[in-house]
Amino acid sequence: MRRREFIRLFSSTVVAWPLTARAQQAAMLFIGFLNSGSPKAFQSLAAAFRQGLSESGYVEGQKLAIEYRWADGDYEKLPGLATELVDRRVSVILANGVPAVVAAKAATATIPIVFTSGGNPVELGLVSSLNQPGGNVTGVSFLTNELGGKRLELLRELVPAAASVGVFANPTRPSSQFEVKNAQQAAHALGVSLIVLNVSTEAEIETAFNELSHQRIAALLVGTDPFFFARRDQIVTLANRLRVATMYPFREYVVAGGLISYAPSIAEVYRQAGTYVAKILKGSKPADLPILQPTKFELVINLKTAKALGLTVSNQMQLLADEVIE
């Protein structure tokens, strides 16, 4: 090849490459993933979200990029992380947990937001109604904040002598007050004294368990806060070590060695959120997508843990359970 022809060919390639790169980048869809917890703790749930996307034809890495932002339990980081996603001009933001939803909604009134949350989105002021959310926010509410009564009943069945029950609540979480209120109403109906323990740091988890031990409280409800979920191994270990019969909000705690849980499948909630994000990418408006709510709740019991705690799980309760870990 002659030198002049080579230079001309090289020059045309240099010009074409950035044009091609820009075209490929323009074709790429970007969505935001804003989570109150940590990548390790929420790895399986992020996978469930991606599954929902893929079922609708959107696969990460194939004309779809996910911008992950993790607060690692520090909710004060969320407003800044939400602003980063807005600046990245993502097409949709998935916000996991009430603090993340609040931060995302404060950061943008135009970018669609899909949430996963245990709180009532109407009570929290996130949407106008469940059927017609309005604005740029919709999502999946898994109603765990409203299950306090049933969860307390099941815990009392395992520990009938428990006159007092502790409850972990994170005061930095906007919906914590509703969760505590629901549990208090249930406790009053059952004639149980509820001891609220405010926990928002790892050190306070240790302190709270020491307080339970000091007051000889042998039963505990753990709230639905993402902070607790991210530290489920620590909580389960301390509960078992101090022989505190604990009702957890999600199956993942019981798989990690916890005693019992009653809630919807949180993995299914994340999968549904993925399908909603896909609908928005295809042109649906958040205002027209009603808030999804679970129709099935799962009871999971760890018999090995129950035996170690000296508890008897009746045959009736075992038959009621959706999953029994032995």
Residues 40, 103: one domain? yes
Residues 125, 26: one domain? yes
Q: Which residue has the higher pLDDT, 1 or 157?
A: 157
- Mean pLDDT calculated for residue range 180-195: 87
Residues 86, 195: one domain? no
Residues 138, 14: one domain? yes
Residues 135, 215: one domain? no
Handedness of CA 267, 140, 153, 183 (dihedral sign): positive
User: Would the pLDDT of 7 be above 90?
Assistant: no
Residues 199, 122: one domain? no
pLDDT digits (tens, 9 = 90+) for 15-60: 444 544 444 445 789 999 999 888 999 999 999 999 999 999 999 9
Centre a 10 Å sphere on the Cβ of residue 146 and count the other Cβ atoms it contains: 16
Q: Which of 190, 193, 186, 196 is nearest to 149 (CA)?
A: 186
Residues 128, 188: one domain? no
- Identify the pLDDT of residue 5: 52
pLDDT bucket at 120, cuts 50 / 70 / 90: confident
Residue 23 is part of a domain; what is its CATH number? 3.40.50.2300
Residues 128, 79: one domain? yes
- Mean pLDDT calculated for residue range 247-257: 94
Separation of CA 313 from chain center: 29
- The one-character DSSP state at 322 is S
Residues 202, 317: one domain? yes
N residues, the chain: 326
| pTM, full prediction | 0.82
Centre a 10 Å sphere on the Cβ of residue 295 and count the other Cβ atoms it contains: 6
Q: Is residue 150 within 8 Å of residue 144, measured between CB atoms?
A: no
pLDDT bucket at 118, cuts 50 / 70 / 90: confident
Residues 156, 110: one domain? no
Checking DSSP bridges between strand 164-169 and strand 137-141, what pairing results, if any? unpaired
Which residues contact residue 119 at a Cβ distance below 8 angstroms, ignoring those fewer than 6 apart? Answer: 98, 141, 145, 174, 175, 178, 179
Q: Which of 139, 106, 150, 145 is nearest to 123 (CA)?
A: 145
- Identify the pLDDT of residue 24: 46
> In terms of residue numbers, what domain contains 91?
3-143+266-288
Separation of CA 321 from chain center: 23
- Identify the pLDDT of residue 145: 62
Rounded distance, CA 279 to CA 296, Å? 23
Checking DSSP bridges between strand 193-198 and strand 245-248, what pairing results, if any? unpaired
Three-state SS for 306?
Answer: helix
Residues 278, 135: one domain? yes
Which tokens hold the place of 21?
């790169």
Q: Number of folded domains in the chain?
A: 2
Residues 177, 219: one domain? yes
